[in-house]
Amino acid sequence: MKKLVTTLCAMALFASSAFAANPVRISQVYGGGGSSSATATYNVDYVEIFNASGTAVNLSGWAIEYGSNTGNWGSSSGNQFVFPTGASIAPCSYVLVSFGTPSTGGGPLPVPADYSGTLTISATSGKVALFSALNANLACGSELPGTLVDKVSFGTANCPEVTNVAALTNDSGAIRNSGGLDDTDNNVADFTVTLNPVPRNSASPANSGCLATPNASRTWGAIKTIYR
Ligand SMILES: [Ca+2]
Ligand SMILES: [Ca+2]
């Protein structure tokens, strides 16, 4: 038994020291909320995140931030969302954060959001980042060291992971492929612009492909967040 435990510890250490895409990542972005247009799918904006690892991750103090085409991350408090103390994301599962008050265009989200905030995400062109700590009004490239977990730029926004996702519309969102599993750190390769996207929340079924082969790799930023 002792040998087995030692082996498992060694395996976990090896897996966690590999430098690769963070297992927690943005899995959907929808910005068509906040509109009076009848073509909007939903009446609020949302960001869905996914945990591709086999262990729960503590999200306390993590942040989702919006930036306009050439704007800073979280240029105002309204474009910063910080997860409350105790927030977490289950293995191979999702968390849904909605933004804004329901507008006249579009319908309600099909599942309740786990959290709500005030980001105002453009329906067509902008960028969203997930940080392990608040980056208040910082330019792309000037993020606090080790805090950038994932980011996606769509339309003509600057600062993508390699290449932007195409422009979105009132009735489409940027959806990470394979239910959130694909993360090569190239936005255009990892996301598909999808009509009438369907968000998932913490109560949605876990990703079956992830349950079969969870991604155990973590960046040092994530390790520090987990053990601090
Ligand atoms: Ca919007
Ligand atoms: Ca990424």
Residue ranges of domains in the chain, CATH in brackets? 20-227 (2.60.40.1260)
pLDDT at 195 over 90: yes
Please report, rounded to a whole number, the percentage of residues in the chain having pLDDT higher than 90: 84
| Helix%, strand%, coil% for the chain, nearest 5 | 15, 30, 55
- 223 — pLDDT class (breaks 50, 70, 90): very low
The ligand whose atoms approach the alpha carbon of 33 most closely is: 1
Ligand 1 centroid distance, CA of 169 (Å)? 10
Separation CA 147–CA 63 (nearest Å): 10
Ligand 2 centroid distance, CA of 184 (Å)? 6
pLDDT at 73 over 70: yes
What tokens were used for 176?
A: 């990470």
Q: What's the average model confidence in pLDDT over 131-151?
A: 97
- pLDDT for 197: 98
Q: Using an 8 Å Cβ cutoff, are 33 and 45 in contact?
A: yes
pLDDT at 122 over 90: yes
Q: Using an 8 Å Cβ cutoff, are 196 and 108 in contact?
A: no
Q: Is 13 helix (H, G, I), strand (E, B) or coil?
A: helix
- 220 — pLDDT class (breaks 50, 70, 90): very low
In this structure, what are the phi and psi dihedrals at residue 184, rounded to the nearest 5 degrees? -90, 0
Does the pTM surpass 0.75? The reply is yes
User: CA 99, 66, 146, 52 torsion: positive or negative?
Assistant: positive
Ligand 1 centroid distance, CA of 146 (Å)? 29
Q: Using an 8 Å Cβ cutoff, are 29 and 49 in contact?
A: no
The ligand whose atoms approach the alpha carbon of 125 most closely is: 1
Q: Is 209 helix (H, G, I), strand (E, B) or coil?
A: helix
Q: Using an 8 Å Cβ cutoff, are 165 and 187 in contact?
A: yes
Ligand 1 centroid distance, CA of 99 (Å)? 8
Q: What's the average model confidence in pLDDT over 147-169?
A: 98
Q: Using an 8 Å Cβ cutoff, are 69 and 182 in contact?
A: no
**Ligand 2 ion: nearby residues, β-carbon < 5 Å:** 150, 183, 185
The ligand whose atoms approach the alpha carbon of 129 most closely is: 2
pLDDT at 16 over 80: no
The helix (H) or strand (E) run that includes residue 67 is strand 63-67
**Average pLDDT value for the chain:** 90
- pLDDT for 3: 52
The ligand whose atoms approach the alpha carbon of 160 most closely is: 2
Ligand 2 centroid distance, CA of 25 (Å)? 6
Residues with Cβ within 8 Å of 107's Cβ and at least 6 positions away in sequence, in order, are 41, 42, 43
- pLDDT for 10: 44
Alpha helices in 83-217 (DSSP H): 187-190, 208-212
pLDDT at 145 over 50: yes
- Lowest mean pLDDT segment, chosen from 19-28, 185-194, 204-213: 19-28
Ligand 1 centroid distance, CA of 65 (Å)? 14
Ligand 2 centroid distance, CA of 63 (Å)? 15
Please report, rounded to a whole number, the percentage of residues in the chain having pLDDT higher than 70: 86
Q: What's the average model confidence in pLDDT over 15-44?
A: 84
Separation CA 84–CA 63 (nearest Å): 9
Among the listed residues 198, 58, 94, 81, the one whose alpha carbon sits nearest the alpha carbon of residue 128: 81
Ligand 2 centroid distance, CA of 112 (Å)? 26
- 22 — pLDDT class (breaks 50, 70, 90): confident
Separation CA 112–CA 199 (nearest Å): 9
- 216 — pLDDT class (breaks 50, 70, 90): low
